[in-house]
Chain A
Amino acid sequence: MQTSLFTKPRDLFLDVVNAKDYVQIDSVSVMYQYLKNAVEKPLKMILLYGKPGTGKSMLLHKLHYDLSKHQKVHMIPIPIVDEEDFLRVLAQNIFGHAPREKMTLNRFLEIAEALSFANVPIVLLDEAQLYSASLMEKIRLISDARAVKFVITLHKTDNEDIVAKEHFQTRIWESIELKNATSDELKIYVQKKLLKANCFDVANMFNEKNMKLITALTRGNYRETNKLLFALFSLYCWHEENNPGAIRYNAIKPKWIEMAAIHTGLIHA
């Protein structure tokens, strides 16, 4: 079966989080190194926050992938909102033991004390803004008891100062804020992703103008960029099949970027 030139690039930008798809960009790798160093410090909590689509989940997955090679680490990518379930899952995955009777915070701390590890186990919590205040308080108590070290990711909204939240006040924590990418960073991100998959010819099609337009439309948000490029390459696939004469192989058409932006809702038309 003959495959299209743009099928592979399109599938590269499917919006899924996979540690193996991690793309090293200067600013992100500096953040990642900072995060790794923070994990090695005797801190109880590490807070990773930023606006949606800034790469928090990807960084957390990458951290999990790297740490799990030589350390006890567990990741909860989807929040477990029920408190008992949360403690049970944690006990089972960290200590390999979850009692049949009702699981309480005290019971969890007893197990942790009985099975104390030389290295404090690490738990990575994604989307922690979905946890209730009461569960966050329990997480804080667990980290205070040094039973578990938590790395938490939170969404940051314009109206909310996360660090000012009750759970994070007077705690020993390190906070790392992730920001949206600049045009240059986004260009590196897109090209590295394409080059990693040997899509050299498609990587060559992106010029400065294209990247500035993409950055303006997505505001440097990685998730939006993935969505936009998925739609863009879908357009290319369509044209390759139905109207190949319209494709310019030396540059990406700004019109098609805008059409992809309309399709993904970045432009309201």
Chain B
Amino acid sequence: MLNVKDLERRWFRYKLKSYIPYILGSTLALSVVIGAVSFFLLPGHTKSAEISKTAPEQNVSVVRQNNRPDAQENPTVLEPSMEFIQSFQTDLQDQETQRVPAPKAASSSSARGVLEALAPSGAAPAAPAAQPAAPQSKKIDESLSIKRNESQFDIAELLQRFKETSNANLGLFIARYYYDREEYVEAYNYALKTNAINNRIDESWIIFSKSLAKLGKTEQAKKTLRIYLQQSNSETAKGLLESLEKGTFK
């Protein structure tokens, strides 16, 4: 018998434990960032630099002697220079300005233009390179077709059962199955059939509208969603309608 309360408690502990590394990591990262910022940007760092000037110079000189013998002549060498940050910024700006025109150069139209220009000389070597790839793709297709056949067989069984039972949940299952496989006409048909049996299944309406949109009938999809939203308060439907109107639906 399940002790649900105890399980809830253990699950909470487990979740807490699983988040600990993230919490520690982010705390550490945050403290490093804060430390770095306070070191470089806050006015206090100049004081520390001054202190370091008055601090045991012997030690500093030892280090200096080891690294650069001529450094003794310049006692202000410990002051941090901000030039390298500026150089990063200028580098980044340069890179950004260089990146902007890059996609244009690589854009499909211009690339096509270049290919067309090169066509007489470039076409000949391209053909033999494509030939050896063909048997491989055939092999892949064959191995895939075995799976497909089995799946087809299964769906045939489900379609038969849907015919016999007219179960809305099964209809939804089939519609979802086809939508996942990008067979939008079938997905549309079964979502429609499911809606006819039970017009209160939210997901069925969504699949119906999405399939319409995928089939290029965006206006009809919007119309369907508006009709559905008159009788329902579905947030998913609202979101889908919004994405269709904005043209962001993929």
Contacts and interface: CB of A to CB of B under 8 A. Distances in A.
Interface residues of B, number: 24
Given A201-B169, A262-B10, A235 B4 contact: yes
Nearest to B149: A26
A262 B7 contact: yes
B195 to A, nearest CB: 15
Interface in A111-157: none
Nearest to B157: A195
Main secondary structure of the interface of A (DSSP, over half): helix
Interface string A21-48: 0001010011000000000000000000
B211 to A, nearest CB: 17
A65 interface: no
A235 B4 CA distance: 7
B40 interface: no
Looking at A234, A238, A262, the one whose CB has the most chain B CB atoms below 10 A away is: A262
Contacts of A72: none
A4 interface: no
A125 B130 CA distance: 51
A235 B6 CA distance: 12
A263 interface: yes
A250 interface: yes
Contacts of B173: 191, 195, 200, 203-204
B2 A255 contact: no
Interface string B141-167: 000001100110010001000000001
Interface string B1-15: 010100110110111
Given A26-B146, A204-B176, A234-B2, A262 B202 contact: no
**Residue among B11, B14, B158 having the largest count of chain A Cβ atoms under 10 Å:** B11
Given A255-B11, A262-B10, A204 B150 contact: no
Contact of A262 (B11, B150, B169): B11
Contacts of A24: 150, 154
A30 B7 contact: no
B17 interface: yes
Interface in B1-40: 2, 4, 7-8, 10-11, 13-15, 17
Interface string A233-269: 0110011001000000010000100110011000101
A231 interface: yes
Contacts of A191: 173
Contacts of A192: 154
A29 B150 contact: yes
Given A234-B2, A238-B2, A238-B4, A258 B11 contact: yes
Interface string B124-143: 00000000000000000000
Contact of B158 (A195, A235, A238, A269): A195
Nearest to A27: B147
B172 A235 contact: no
Contacts of B202: 250
A193 to B, nearest CB: 13
B185 interface: no
Given A24-B150, A235-B4, A269-B13, 10 more contacts: A29-B150, A200-B167, A200-B169, A200-B170, A200-B172, A204-B169, A259-B11, A262-B7, A262-B11, A269-B14
24 contacts: A26-B146, A26-B147, A26-B151, A30-B146, A191-B173, A192-B154, A195-B158, A195-B170, A200-B167, A200-B172, A201-B169, A203-B173, A204-B172, A204-B176, A204-B203, A231-B2, A234-B2, A250-B202, A255-B11, A259-B10, A262-B7, A267-B14, A269-B10, A269-B13
Interface of B: 2, 4, 7-8, 10-11, 13-15, 17, 146-147, 150-151, 154, 158, 167, 169-170, 172-173, 176, 202-203
